Structure 1
C-alpha cells in the first residue's frame, strides 16, 4: 500500500531546488492554484472566453458583472465527514477560485455562457462603434 504515496527523487537540480523552496515557503498549494487557466479568442465580432474549470458543478460557478468588470468565480466545498476510512494521502484541494476581466468594449447585455466537459465558454459580442454624427450648424 505504501507504493501509492509519491516520493520525489532527490536530484541536484537548481530548478528543483527553487521549486522545492517555493513549496516550502508558500505551501504545497502555491498561489498559482487560486486562479484557473483561460483562453480569449477574437472571433467574428465577438470575444470568446474559455475557462478550464474541471470538477465543478454548473451550480458552483458564478459569473458576476460589476460595471466594466466581469468576475468568474467557482467554489469546491469540502466534505467534513470521512465516509471511506482514513486517508493515506489527500491531494484534492477545496476552496474558491476567481478571476476578473475588463469588459469595457463588450456589449454586456448580449453575453452568453455555456459549460460543458469542464470548460466554461462565454461569448461576448463587441460593442458596435457609433459612427460620428454629421450635422451642420447654422450661423445666425
Structure 2
C-alpha cells in the first residue's frame, strides 16, 4: 500500500534536537503505523478516496513556485524552500526563525498511475491526488506437459 520512506537507511522521522520527555510520550501514544508524527512543522493528511490517494499538506507562508513535487520509483517527494531576502536596517533581531524555512516529505505508494497525478495549492494547503492504476487480472491457462 503506502508507507513512510527512509533516507540513507536511517530513520529520518524525528528531529532529535526537538525531542523532550513530553514529546517522547506524545510519540508513543500518537504515532500510527504508516505516518509517524514528525517535527517538520507541517501537518499532513493522507487518505484514499474512491480510486485515488489524496495527500494534503499545510504549507503556510510558502508560494506555489517554492514547492517542488516529484514522483519517482513509487515515491512521492514534496519539497518546499522559502527564503526571505528582505533587509531592514531599522530592525535588530534577537531571535529569528521565519527567515528561512524548508520542508521535505517522502511517501511510498504502490500501484499509482503516475501520468495522471494532479496537484493544487490553495490558501496554504497543497493537495496531491494520485490515481490508483486499474488492475485487470488476466487469467492464463497453463498446459501441463
TM-score normalised by the shorter chain: which range applies?
0.5 to 0.7
Is 1:106 paired with 2:112? Answer: yes
Query: Could you say what the CA RMSD is over the residues aligned between the two structures, in angstroms?
Result: 2.5
* Unaligned ranges ≥5, structure 1: 1-16, 20-31
Contact 2:83 2:99 in 1 (8 A): no
**Among 72, 77, 86, the residue aligned to 2:83:** 77
Displacement of 1:132 in angstroms is: 2.5
Structure whose residues are more often helix by fraction: 1
Change (3 A) 1:79 1:131: same
Is 1:133 paired with 2:142? Answer: no
SS in 1 for 2:119: strand
Displacement of 1:33 in angstroms is: 4.0
Higher Rg: 1
Counterpart of 1:92 in structure 2 is 98
Displacement of 1:88 in angstroms is: 5.0
Displacement of 1:35 in angstroms is: 5.5
Counterpart of 1:11 in structure 2 is none
**Among 62, 68, 79, the residue aligned to 1:56:** 62
SS in 2 for 1:130: coil
Structure whose residues are more often strand by fraction: 2
SS in 2 for 1:99: strand
SS in 1 for 2:100: coil
Change (3 A) 1:114 1:84: farther
TM-score between the two structures when normalised by the length of structure 2: 0.64
